[in-house]
Amino acid sequence: MVEAASQADIGYQDELWIGRTVDATTTFTQILGVEELSVPERAPDDIEVTHMQSPGRSRETIPGLLSVADWSQDLQYWPEHASQVLLETLAGLTEAGTWEEVYVEFVVAGIRRTYRGYVNSWTPQSSVGDKRMASLSMKIFNRVTPDPRALS
């Protein structure tokens, strides 16, 4: 099940989708108001480890460990729209001390990437010109493969 918007509504043909899983069914909702979208930075860290039995008792590293990415996005705000209500609901869960893991799907320049994450905060902001804006902040975990839409 998908709630979609026209390309004219979201601009630049970049898309942001949130997928919630309820009773083994994942429903994706397109988040409206995205003007410029960037995929979260997920560069792997090299974690330093020390062990007295390392060769020459030197420090070693464990390459490739991914940390949780902080990701934020400004978007246009339509308080009554289903995508905005979804973000408010998910942010409310986090504020209440529990969070809901969701799929976060980015479509940038026609390339689709899906991650797991949760909404950290969602805050309506002041107007910019004649646009009402909001700020979305998320924690992004690992990339999901295969595409979860194919699994539903």
CATH number for 142: 2.40.30
The whole-model pTM stands at 0.74
In a domain, 60, yes or no: no
Read off the amino acid at residue 108: V
Residue 58 lies in a domain: no
Of residues 15 and 128, more confidently modeled: 15
Rounded distance, CA 117 to CA 39, Å? 13
45 belongs to a structural domain = no
Domain count, the chain: 1
Within-domain flag for 59: no
What are the tokens at 14?
A: 């970049």
Confidence of residue 12 (pLDDT cuts 50, 70, 90): low
When mean pLDDT is compared across 24-33, 41-50, 102-111, the lowest value belongs to 41-50
Assigned domain for 116 exists: yes
Model confidence at 24, pLDDT cuts 50, 70, 90, reads: confident
Per the structure, the complete domain to which residue 104 belongs is given by 2-38+67-151
